[in-house]
Amino acid sequence: MGGDLGPRVNVAGALIALAEHPALDILLVGDRPSLESALACHALAADYAHRLQILHAPSAIAMDARPSSVLRGKADSSMHIALQQVAEGKAMACVSAGNTGALMVLGRQLLGMPPGIQRPAISTAIPTRQGRCYMLDLGANVDCEAEQLLQFALMGSAMVELVDGVKRPRVGLLNVGVEDIKGNLQVRRAAALIAACTDLNYIGYLEGDQIFQDQADVVVCDGFVGNVALKTSEGLARLLSSRIRDLFAESWYARLVSLMARPLLKRLRAQMDPVRYNGGSLLGLQGTVIKSHGSADARGMAYAIARALREAEHGLAEGLYTHMTARMAKAATGHA
Amino acid sequence: MGGDLGPRVNVAGALIALAEHPALDILLVGDRPSLESALACHALAADYAHRLQILHAPSAIAMDARPSSVLRGKADSSMHIALQQVAEGKAMACVSAGNTGALMVLGRQLLGMPPGIQRPAISTAIPTRQGRCYMLDLGANVDCEAEQLLQFALMGSAMVELVDGVKRPRVGLLNVGVEDIKGNLQVRRAAALIAACTDLNYIGYLEGDQIFQDQADVVVCDGFVGNVALKTSEGLARLLSSRIRDLFAESWYARLVSLMARPLLKRLRAQMDPVRYNGGSLLGLQGTVIKSHGSADARGMAYAIARALREAEHGLAEGLYTHMTARMAKAATGHA
């Protein structure tokens, strides 16, 4: 039911995902009449009817609801019910385009967290020169102690290892400079903790522009900084593409060039498309939960579902749980 | 003497600035032999000899020197001597491509600060959809209390009013969401202080992507966040332009389109060029000090000099001093 564009787009995204992933079954959780009417718009919906099920939810959490009110509220919202499916083992993952704060607190309440994790973090893939990196946290935690940044490093590293199969992923810590003396107290303390952790392949501080330079697989930062950096990048990308559009429309010559450049620009868009990287992983829950961008279209929602499928298939949540449990045991015996 | 590319580029930038601004005189401060040999490379140097003077400095501050060691060190560096010229009224502004932290602490020591300012901030112009906005702080202060964010708002607003002639500049506060409950404690407290300040035209919270949407003239944030956001933008812009370059080189067709698109892309680059916005203002000093980007080329240095000239001509440092003094007087009598 969530997202700026409502269930119609989410349903369309679910159908794209079903078409692309033959092993996938989907439970649509929300207002049954809305979901049925959204399905009725799609000629192909009948083809996937056997892999698609509607679970009615009498209410939905507002996009602007406060997390605290969500916890006190009734448990009959689509978000509650969807997360409950994961908690009860009836679904392998939950994907939502709804209220991020609500998803976070309900996820903690209904799924719980692995040992040694204080708070979940949101992570997403960012395109880089040759591939991608994962950045976390992206807004779940606006104030982070050094210990939490270490936990982000552990979770991000485990995710890249488990889901992408990268051995000893390179972990960088976002800072305002690469020299030891740079940064605030939390970041400098976190650097010491991360560097001391033998489970991690720490490569040191990274500055903002190095995010895109394939230096790290995991970029760790607090949620305030990560959120601002990600949104600033989105804003700049939009500014550039609007400037290019204006430029290509301003004369006959420009329009001709634009026509000729179309196939090239289409490929660039495909490479850089934020939609392609849609789907923020809520790391640190005992279950797979993916947050789709509020403004994502059907294609974006399909990517978020694909991400959820991928994490579930690789057993990320279980792997993270095992990893953290082993770590806590080691720490308890003094070998951390 | 500063910058990644050394005095040669700085001297070339000075000559461009002299050619473009007939009212400008320049004192080159640094190692005389290096500066003379850099000048000797330029056929035009002789034409500007009467507006150009070399002031020998026996030493230079290393790019990686710690600010604390700079304060304890000898006072014969090029940065010391250049700032001293401003302190003694022999120069109207100082431009440096050197160590930012050193420039900041020496600027405070040699020039002092207006009343009511705890620490200076770095501000620079950012291109937006229709024009530009100014963001501060960009890295001088990695930990900021709410009161400091208010001071940044006051300084940024005064700068835009004095230098750009904008009446009641719109001030936004960078945050992870636009709702009241978003953000960390410092930001929420700063919002209350800024909103309560009748001298300011506060428009509320801004998210990262809104920086580019012409919603504010001044965007306030702490130095950690501002530095990461700015550098992330630079990194993304470089990533996009390298992707476009690769795409335009990969086939004969692409190369043809690239050739045809060249005049258009050149205009885009000119519009968006970070070099055009080179020159970070050190606000909150009793004198005009501009930091040129360490990697700026001669054209970038010329822009930084032009910015210094503009601030000096508009009496920014004096205006800020008067403004803050009046404000402190008002506050003392309880009318702030």
Q: Which residue of A has its CA nearest to B139?
A: A176
Partners of A293 on chain B (C-beta within 8 Å) are none
A42 located within any domain: yes
The sign of the torsion formed by the CA atoms of A115, A118, A124, A128 equals negative
Partners of B214 on chain A (C-beta within 8 Å) are none
Q: What's the rounded Cα separation, in Å, for the pair A157 and A39?
A: 39
Question: Are A257 and B254 a contacting pair at CB < 8 A?
Answer: no
Closest residue to A229, CB basis, from B127, B229, B267: B229
Partners of A184 on chain B (C-beta within 8 Å) are 142-143, 224
Per-residue CA distances from B156 to B87, B134, B164, B165, B282 (Å): 22, 7, 11, 13, 11
Question: Are A223 and B176 a contacting pair at CB < 8 A?
Answer: yes
Residue A335: predicted pLDDT: 54
A179 located within any domain: no
Q: How far is B42 from chain A (nearest CA, A)?
A: 34
CB atoms within 10 A of CB B200: 22
**pLDDT higher than threshold 90 for residue A289:** yes
Q: Residue B219 pairs with which residues in a beta bridge?
A: B135, B172
Residue B285: predicted pLDDT: 96
Question: Are B232 and A209 a contacting pair at CB < 8 A?
Answer: yes
Q: Tokens 């995010």 identify what position?
A: A211
**pLDDT higher than threshold 50 for residue A77:** yes
**Mean of all residue pLDDT scores within chain A:** 91
Helix axis angle for A185-195 and A146-164, nearest 10°, is: 50
B127 located within any domain: no
B257 located within any domain: no
B149 located within any domain: no
Residue A59: predicted pLDDT: 94
The sign of the torsion formed by the CA atoms of A96, A98, A101, A107 equals negative
Do A217 and A131 form a contact (C-beta atoms < 8 A)?
A: no
**pLDDT higher than threshold 90 for residue A171:** yes
Q: Which residue of A has its CA nearest to B239?
A: A129
Q: Can you give the CATH number for the domain in which B29 is found? A: 3.40.718.10
Q: How far is A132 from chain B (nearest CA, A)?
A: 12
Q: Which residue of B has its CA nearest to A138?
A: B176
Q: Which residue of B has its CA nearest to A225?
A: B225
Residue B281: predicted pLDDT: 95
Do A108 and A282 form a contact (C-beta atoms < 8 A)?
A: no
Q: Which residue of B has its CA nearest to A126?
A: B236
Nearest-5° angle of CA B73, CA B74, CA B77?
A: 110
Question: Are B231 and A183 a contacting pair at CB < 8 A?
Answer: no
Nearest-5° angle of CA A145, CA A209, CA A140?
A: 35
Partners of A185 on chain B (C-beta within 8 Å) are 143
Nearest-5° angle of CA A257, CA A259, CA A262?
A: 105
| Greatest pairwise CA separation for chain A in angstroms | 74
Question: Are A208 and B224 a contacting pair at CB < 8 A?
Answer: no
Q: Which residue of A has its CA nearest to B179?
A: A64
Partners of B268 on chain A (C-beta within 8 Å) are 243-244, 247
B262 located within any domain: no
CB atoms within 10 A of CB A31: 18
Partners of A99 on chain B (C-beta within 8 Å) are none
Residue from A211, A224, A265 whose CB has the most chain B CBs within 10 Å, to mutate: A224
Q: Which residue of B has its CA nearest to A140?
A: B176
Quick one: three-class SS letters along chain B?
Answer: CCCCCCHHHHHHHHHHHHHHCCCCCEEEEECHHHHHHHHHCCHHHHHHHHHEEEEECCECCCCCCCHHHHHHCCCCEHHHHHHHHHHCCCCCEEEECCCHHHHHHHHHHHHCCCCCCCCCEEEEEEECCCCEEEEECCCCCCCCCHHHHHHHHHHHHHHHHHHHCCCCCEEEEECCCCCCCCCCHHHHHHHHHHHCCCCCEEEEEECHHHHHCCCCCEEECCHHHHHHHHHHHHHHHHHHHHHHHHHCCCCHHHHHHHHHHHHHHHHHHHHHCHHHHCCEEEECCCCEEEECCCCCCHHHHHHHHHHHHHHHHCCHHHHHHHHHHHHHHHHHCCCC
Q: How far is A253 from chain B (nearest CA, A)?
A: 9
> Closest by alpha carbon to B208, among B186, B236, B230?
B230
Partners of A129 on chain B (C-beta within 8 Å) are 239, 242
% of chain A exceeding 90 in pLDDT = 64
Q: What's the rounded Cα separation, in Å, for the pair A159 and A133?
A: 11
Question: Are A224 and B260 a contacting pair at CB < 8 A?
Answer: no
Residue A336: predicted pLDDT: 45
Partners of A268 on chain B (C-beta within 8 Å) are 243-244, 247
Residue A276: predicted pLDDT: 64
Q: Which residue of B has its CA nearest to A209?
A: B235
Question: Are A247 and B268 a contacting pair at CB < 8 A?
Answer: yes
Question: Are B264 and A243 a contacting pair at CB < 8 A?
Answer: no
Q: Domain range spanning residue A32?
A: 1-115+284-336
Residue A83: predicted pLDDT: 97
Question: Are A233 and B208 a contacting pair at CB < 8 A?
Answer: yes
pLDDT band at A74 (very low <50, low <70, confident <90, very high): confident
Residues 6+ apart with CB under 8 A from B21: B305, B306, B309
Residue B275: predicted pLDDT: 56
Partners of A182 on chain B (C-beta within 8 Å) are 142
**pLDDT higher than threshold 80 for residue A331:** no
A132 located within any domain: no
Q: Which residue of B has its CA nearest to A273?
A: B240
Residue from B231, B262, B269 whose CB has the most chain A CBs within 10 Å, to mutate: B231
pLDDT digits (tens, 9 = 90+) for B57-83: 999 999 888 888 888 888 999 999 999
Q: Which residues of chain B have pLDDT under 50?
A: 336
CA A131, distance to chain mean position in Å, is 17
Residue A242: predicted pLDDT: 85
pLDDT digits (tens, 9 = 90+) for A19-71: 999 999 999 999 999 999 999 988 877 888 899 999 999 999 998 888 888 88
Residues 6+ apart with CB under 8 A from B64: A179, B99
Closest residue to B174, CB basis, from A185, A228, A272: A228
> How many domains is chain A built from?
1
A219 located within any domain: no
pLDDT band at A274 (very low <50, low <70, confident <90, very high): low
pLDDT digits (tens, 9 = 90+) for A149-169: 999 999 999 999 999 999 999
Its ipTM equals 0.89
Partners of B232 on chain A (C-beta within 8 Å) are 208-209, 211, 229, 232-233
The sign of the torsion formed by the CA atoms of A292, A297, A303, A306 equals positive
Question: Are A232 and B235 a contacting pair at CB < 8 A?
Answer: no
